[in-house]
């Protein structure tokens, strides 16, 4: 199993100007490398179809609506499933004991919980160019929580990885579906709805014990 992870929104808990109230982590899950390779091929074929440069990076926040819709439709018959974690930060009290980076680790670990429980070993690919400090701190978090050795973890550059780009579009689509005032709130999620295995809506009680 190989899992591609990306997020939409800001994981910081402090209420800063322009900070997003919603934070979403998406997991795009493939049972094997072959299924991932096939979906990556479909994404590259779609890019050729719309005459975009091979180096173009699909991102929810900068890609046109019709292009996102077209891409999601082009891969909907691929073999993958989606799990997502949605956090309304207004429901969570900020804690001086947990920094932004640590909190992100906690949320990713919560999103991976079912995989950790039921799968002996799996691969995780996270968005992010090679950041030694982040990589080391994440591996330390895995080790301290007894997960190290079971996860083949790598940070990958989203600019060159179409499956991380798909995880970005999925996270953006799910986050947009919770912004009810937007006129395109449900357009994107509707296309991938059958792929969503679980959408975990975090409540106050889910995180308060961690943030004390």
Predicted pLDDT of residue 15: 56
Structure confidence by residue, pLDDT tens digits, 107-119:
777 777 766 666 7
Confirm if 162 and 40 have CB atoms less than 8 A apart: yes
Predicted pLDDT of residue 105: 72
Higher pLDDT, 172 or 184: 172
Confirm if 62 and 165 have CB atoms less than 8 A apart: no
Q: Strand 122-127 to strand 196-202: parallel, antiparallel, or no bridges (unpaired)?
A: unpaired
Higher pLDDT, 185 or 68: 68
| First-residue to last-residue Cα distance in the chain | 34
Rounded CA gap, 133 and 89, in Å?
Answer: 26
Predicted pLDDT of residue 51: 96
If phi > 0 it is left, if psi is from -120 to 50 it is alpha, else beta; for residue 183 that is alpha
Q: Kindly report the pTM of this predicted structure.
A: 0.86
Structure confidence by residue, pLDDT tens digits, 126-179:
887 545 666 666 677 667 766 666 778 888 888 999 999 999 999 999 999 998
- 191: tokens are 């296309």
Beta bridge partners of 65: none
């Amino acid at each position: 199993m190989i899992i591609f992870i990306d997020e939409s929104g800001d994981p910081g808990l402090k209420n800063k100007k322009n900070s997003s109230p919603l934070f979403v982590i998406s997991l795009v899950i493939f049972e094997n490398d072959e299924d991932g390779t096939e979906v990556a091929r479909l994404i590259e074929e779609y890019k050729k179809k719309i005459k975009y440069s091979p180096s173009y990076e699909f991102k929810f926040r900068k890609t046109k609506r019709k292009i996102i819709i077209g891409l999601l439709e082009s891969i909907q018959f691929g073999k993958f499933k989606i799990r997502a974690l949605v956090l309304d930060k207004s429901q969570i009290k900020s804690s001086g004991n947990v920094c932004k980076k640590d909190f992100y680790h906690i949320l990713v670990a919560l999103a991976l919980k079912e995989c950790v429980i039921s799968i002996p070993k799996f691969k995780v690919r996270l968005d992010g160019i090679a950041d030694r400090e982040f990589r080391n701190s994440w591996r330390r978090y895995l080790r301290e929580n007894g997960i190290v050795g079971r996860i083949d973890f790598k940070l990958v550059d989203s600019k060159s990885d179409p499956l991380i780009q798909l995880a970005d579009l999925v996270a953006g689509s799910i986050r947009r579906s919770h912004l009810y005032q937007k006129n395109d709130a449900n357009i994107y999620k509707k296309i991938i709805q059958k792929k969503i295995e679980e959408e975990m809506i975090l409540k106050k009680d889910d995180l308060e014990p961690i943030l004390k």
